[in-house]
Structures are given as structure tokens and as C-alpha cells.
Amino acid sequence: MTMPYERTSAVLQTRKFLNELAYSQSTNIPQEIASEAHRLLRHYPNDADMKLTSLAIAEIWQMPTP
């Protein structure tokens, strides 16, 4: 069973990965991959979305403590 902090961590790590793909200066990442990552990020939850959701539905999401 996935715990709320594990689920949240996976979403945050995935957003970081998509950002790296979308905004990488590396020429090793094909443009179609970077473009797709950028497109997906437009609809991906940001920190504010995650914080609000974790407050509203704590049994599903749990933001990491600083």
C-alpha cells in the first residue's frame, strides 16, 4: 500500500524530472521529448496545488516537512 508521503514524493519527483527534460540545455534530449515534457507540465500540479490538496485530503497527500 502506498503511503501519502510516498505518493506525494513521487508526484514531486516526477515534476522535477519533467522540468529537467523540458528545460535541459543538453543536446542529448530529443526536441520531441522536451516538448512533450513541457506540454505535460502545463497541467501538472504545482507546489500550491499540492499543499492545498494535502490539507484537504491528508489521507491521500502529505507534503514533506522542511
The DSSP secondary structure of 6-59, one letter per residue, reads: HHHHHHHHHHHHHHHHHH---TTS-HHHHHHHHHHHTTS--HHHHHHHHHH-TT
Is position 22 within any domain? yes
The pTM for the full model equals 0.85
Is position 12 within any domain? yes
Residue 26: CA atoms inside 13 Å, Cβ hemisphere, count? 10
Higher local confidence (pLDDT), 49 or 27: 49
Is position 41 within any domain? yes
The per-residue pLDDT for range 28-51, each reduced to its tens digit, is 999 999 999 999 999 999 999 999
Is position 64 within any domain? no
Domain membership of residue 18 as a residue range:
4-56
Is position 61 within any domain? no
Structural domains counted in the chain: 1
Is position 17 within any domain? yes
Higher local confidence (pLDDT), 65 or 50: 50
- Give me the pLDDT at residue 64, please: 81
